[in-house]
Amino acid sequence: MAIDHLDGRLIVLLAREPRIGVLEASRRLGVARGTVQARLDRLRSQGVIRGFGPEVDPAALGYPVTAFATLEIKQGQGADVRAHLTTVPEVLELHTTTGHGDMLCRLVARSNADLQRVIDRVVGFEGIVRASTAIVMENPVPLRIIPLVEQAAGDTEGC
């Protein structure tokens, strides 16, 4: 179910130096190439590793402003709102949540002024009752997974 220590080391290695291939990884980890190959295949088929897509920085694309919007949805309009938000390119992520709001979405925009346009487009839809937005100022911890992988790998055995 979880991953073992070698899996963890492999994932961390790939996260740190994505350009290395299977052969180089096997050298670094001190195991045979076939082992790395098999581990990778298993991790992918188990869904632990979803893929190796490029990580794109929205800021470098011209969208330096990030914000999180909490949306309150009119009863029974959830599906329509989801469909609507999916069509907005600036909506990078959408979750339905418990708590004060009903949905939380991550937005990007070209500027603070442009954010207004994005928000207007997001909330300009029947079914959204209220929206409250928090603009991101700093991002002290960018999306990371390595510490979690290390914990998950370490739990299983003691190295």
Partner DNA sequence: AGTAGCACTATGCATATTGCCCAGTGATGT
Partner DNA sequence: ACATCACTGGGCAATATGCATAGTGCTACT
The site for DNA (CB under 7 A) is made up of: 6, 19, 21-24, 30-35, 37-39
Residue nearer to DNA on the CB measure, 7 or 102: 7
Task: State the nearest-atom distance from the C-beta of 27 to a copy of itself, in Å.
Answer: 18
Question: Rounded distance, CA 107 to CA 22, Å?
Answer: 36
Task: State the nearest-atom distance from the C-beta of 23 to a copy of itself, in Å.
Answer: 15
Give yes or no for residue 23 binding a copy of itself (CB under 8 A): no
Query: DSSP 3-state assignment of 146?
Result: helix
Choose the contact partner of 71 out of a copy of itself, DNA, none; CB within 5 to 8 A by kind. Answer: none
How far is Cα of residue 81 from the mean position of the Cα atoms in its chain? 21
Q: In this structure, are residues 60 and 110 in contact, taking their beta carbons and an 8 Å threshold?
A: no
Choose the contact partner of 97 out of a copy of itself, DNA, none; CB within 5 to 8 A by kind. Answer: a copy of itself
Touching a copy of itself, residues 125-154 (CB under 8 A) = 132-145, 147-152
Nearest-CA neighbor of 40 among 14, 68, 79?
A: 14
How far is Cα of residue 10 from the mean position of the Cα atoms in its chain? 20
Question: Rounded distance, CA 74 to CA 151, Å?
Answer: 40
Distances (CA, A) of 129 to 17, 52, 76, 117: 45, 38, 12, 18
Which H or E element spans position 106? strand 103-109
Touching a copy of itself, residues 65-94 (CB under 8 A) = 66, 68, 82, 85-86, 89-94
Touching a copy of itself, residues 25-64 (CB under 8 A) = 46-63
Residue nearer to DNA on the CB measure, 141 or 159: 159
By CB under 8 A, name the binding residues for a copy of itself.
1-3, 11, 14-15, 18-19, 46-63, 66, 68, 82, 85-86, 89-101, 104-106, 108, 132-145, 147-152
